Structure formats: structure tokens, C-alpha cells
Amino acid sequence: MDTLLKQQSWRLIDHTMVNPAFDALQSYATDDTLCRSIGKKQEPPTVRAWVHDKTVSLGIQDSKLPKLKEGIRFLEEQGYRVVVRNSGGLGVVLDPEILNLSLVFPDVERGIAIDLGYETMFTLVKDMFAHSKAVIQAGEIEHSYCPGSFDLSIDRRKFAGISQRRMEKGVAVQIYLGVSGDQTKRAELIRDFYAISGKDEQEKYHFPNVDPAVMSTLAELLGEPDLTVNKVLVKLLNSMRFYAEHFYSGTLSPEEWDLFSGYYERILARNEKILA
């Protein structure tokens, strides 16, 4: 059994109800807050499930695109909000049919290896879909958006990507799961964004040549057209109960809410500076 998943207690924070007043920047500030409180062992390890309306979450490297303003204008014309997150990777799409999960736990004395963080999330996802005959693999899917060494795929078609955020002695491992919806349209959106933003007009950074054919959703890959975010959330709950002696639903503590405002102001100011 994976030692990072096996904890005495796990707290669940459910942010899967789409709320226009709770945007993606607030989600990233929430994970920073959790890193702080959990890193100091003031709160137990926490799994947070979150969903946002039409948003494109860019990585820091995306902010170096030579025609970023034109690319952002294009995304906004398609009805998407644009934010720059504080964890690794490149641009990804968020919408009500994409489930994001964050596993937040305290770092150990000598540090949790980066790959172990990724492997922990990989183990959880495999457990969640253990009923399926499909083989979930980890490894970079070239020409996907936000490619990485821990892309999750079935038959070499990507449905998920993992990133990490480490701060204040806390580790947040984050994943987006393409549950259902039009993944081709999402991939085309990111492909066109990079073209309009001038990715080929510079040589310093590498941006993917996005091919929609290499990406898909769990609903399609598992042959479960009625799969929904809520149904995947149930699979998460069933899996997490196996790993914890005490698994319970909760919210941010009063102390965490006090921390949250500072982290939100920080990431908000950073976005305003980058996207100005």
C-alpha cells in the first residue's frame, strides 16, 4: 500500500459545485493555504475535489509567449476566463465536465521525492477505476496539451495530467481528469491559442504542437457515456476510505480562512501583473 495515501486521517473538501463567485485563482490560493496548515501539521492531510466554469489555466512558461495578449483575447472571445496558476506545467482547460483533485500532505523530514508525489496520485486514480478492464498508463503523451512525464492515458490517449505545488513544508499534488465533454474542442482551443500567441515565433521555450487525436475523456475511453463528475467523486470517496482510519468531510478551519485571504491577494496581484 502506498505510504503517502495511507494516513491516520484524511479530510475531504468538496468544491465540485460550480460557483461563479469561486474562481480558479481562489482554488490555487486554497491549495496554498492547505500546504501551509498541513505542512505545519495544524490540519490533517486533505483531498480536495474542485470544478470551475470555462477557464483556461496557463502555466508560468505560457506567460512568455510573444503574442500572449492576442492569445488571451482569443480565449476570452470563446467565452473563457484566463488565469495563470502557481504550479507547474502549461495551459489546460477547466470546465464543469473536468474534475480536479488535490492531495495535500505534509512533507517528511528529508523531503518527499517529486516522483513519489506523482506516483501517489497515479495509484489513487488506478484504484478509483480498478473495476474497469482498461489499463491506465503513466508517461508523456506527445502532442497533448500540457504534456508531462506523468500524463495518464488509456491506449495512448491522454485523459489526465498531474502537477505539484510545494511550499511551507506542504505538498499539493494536483490532477485534472477529463471526465466527459468534447475533448477535441478543448484541444483545438489550446492549439489555436498557441498559434495565435506566436509559439513558433520564438525559440527559447518549447510549446506543444497540440493534436486533438491524442486526447480523450474517461467517458469515451472506458465506454461509459453516462460517466459524470459526481460519479467519479463517488469513486474517489470509496477509494479514500480504504486508505484512512478516519475519513471525513470538512471545510477550511477559521485559521485557514485567515491564511486564505493573504494567499488569494498574492496570486491575484501576480496575475494582474502578468496579464496586464
Reply yes or no on whether 146 is catalytic. Answer: yes
Q: Which of 146, 152, 190, 240 is catalytic?
A: 146
Residues 63, 54: Cα–Cα separation, whole Å = 19
For cell 491559442, name the residue: 193
Given the DSSP bridges, would you call strands 92-94 and 157-167 parallel, antiparallel or unpaired? unpaired
Following DSSP, what letter does each residue of 145-200 receive, concatenated? Answer: SS--TT-EEETTEEEEEEEEEEETTEEEEEEEEE-SS-HHHHHHHHHHHHHHTTGG
Residues 167, 262: Cα–Cα separation, whole Å = 15
Taking Cα atoms as reference points, which of 113, 98, 105 lies closest to residue 240? 105
Residue 161's beta-bridge partner residues? 176
Residue 164's beta-bridge partner residues? 173
Residues 1, 217: Cα–Cα separation, whole Å = 28
Residue 269's beta-bridge partner residues? none
Taking Cα atoms as reference points, which of 32, 93, 48 lies closest to residue 215? 93
Active site residues: 146
